[in-house]
Every structure is written in structure tokens, then in C-alpha cells.
Amino acid sequence: MRTISLSETSVREANRQLHDQTAELAEAQWRITDPEGRHALACGLDQTLEVEIDGHAGYYCAGMNQKARVTINGMVGVGVAENMMSGQVRVKGNASQSAGATAHGGLLVIEGDASARCGISMKGVDIVVGGSVGHLSAFMGQAGRLVVCGDAGEALGDSIYEARLYVRGSVKSLGADCVEKEMRDEHLAELRDLLDAAGLDARAEDFRRYGSARELYNFKVDNADEY
């Protein structure tokens, strides 16, 4: 285990030490202390590291992650795990807007609440939120799964493509082309797997499923000639 205090080491230097593990893995366990809301912590990792951040982090924490498991013992600012490719990011507290934006893979767990635009343009990531999400979550979600144990704000899944959404609580409103869908056995099974992977105690049977009605312009075969 190696510890980096950000009251003594710059973010750039801390990230460099983590990136140095990409070519050759010398130390897998890392602890980052005194984050004090600094931005871009543990970004661009590309190695099977275990990174623990002790405190609140700023914007774009663990962005572009590949392979690493990053845990934040606090809350995070805008864009946690944005464009994650693989690995796992776990936020013990709340997350600000655009959590998991455009992420292609991996698992993002937010134990508290996430604000607006959680999973915006998600492209294959799995996001499990212990609390609630704000408005326009999964906006233009293309692939992946979003699980919300609490409530969802306005315009959930607006202009959604093929991302699958599971919400246990209320949905303030559904966005354009987002509809409630039947919860079949295969959905219950994948939801159980996601809740297990996130370590959250919830019954899959209590959730409802939402997804695309496939009625927007780009889904219409009549428009195929346009391409």
C-alpha cells in the first residue's frame, strides 16, 4: 500500500505515479488522502489498481478509467467516472451532475444520491445508485444499465436508445420516447446480478423497468434512405 497526501503532492504528480503502474505493475494498492475537492483525481488509469480516496473529490474523478477499482470515501463533483471503459468506481457519498457520462463499460456505484444527468449518453457502463437521481438521467443512453434504488427526477431516459433503466421508487416524468416496459425473468436476473455486484440490499421484484419505445426519427425504417 502506498499513500499519497495531496496536501504535500500535486494532483499531476499523484496521477503520474498511478500512470507509472501502467507499463509495469509495482504497487497495486494506493491511498490518496487530503483530496479537499480537487479535480481530476485518479484520471486515466489503465491498470488493475485498487485506489482509495479518503475524502471529498472534485470534478471528473476517476474519469476514463480502465481496469482500476477506485473508491471515494466521500462525495464527488461533476462527471465522476466520465468515459469509463472498464473497472469499478464506487462513491460512498453523493455525486454531482453527469455521473458516468458517456462511459463505455465498467461498473459505477454511487451509494448516496446522484444529481442531474446521471448516465447521460451512457454507452455500455453499468451504474447502480443507492439513492435517487436528478433530472434528465440516462439522456440519450445508448447502451448499458442504470439502476436507481430511490426516485428519478424529470425526463428520465429522454431520447434514449438501447440503455435499460431500473427504478425502485417514483419517476417524476419520463422523457421523450422513454416508456415503462415489462419486467421479464431475464431482466430480474440481470438486475439481481447488478445489485449483487454493487453490494446493495434491494429486491429486484420491487423495481420497474424503463427503456426506449423506438419511436423517434432515427428508429423509423422510413428514414433509412436519409443515410
Name the site residues for other proteins (rule: CB under 8 A): 36-39, 55-56, 58-59, 75, 77-78, 93-94, 96-97, 113, 115-116, 134-135
Cell of 30: 494506493
CB of 13 to other proteins, least distance (A): 18
Of 105 and 112, CB closest to other proteins: 112
Minimum CB separation of residue 87 from other proteins in Å reads 24
Q: How far is the CB of 12 from other proteins (least distance, A)?
A: 15
Distance CA 182, CA 23 (A): 46
Pick between residue 71 and residue 132 the one whose CB is nearest to other proteins. 132
**Cell digits of residue 205:** 421484484
Q: State which residue, 49 or 91, has the beta carbon closest to other proteins.
A: 91
Instruction: Report d(CA 100, CA 221) in Å as an integer.
Output: 31
Q: How far is the CB of 137 from other proteins (least distance, A)?
A: 12
Q: 3-class SS at 25?
A: coil
For 197-227, give the DSSP string: HHT----GGG-EEEEE---SGGG-GGGGGG-
Nearer to other proteins, 46 or 52 (CB): 52
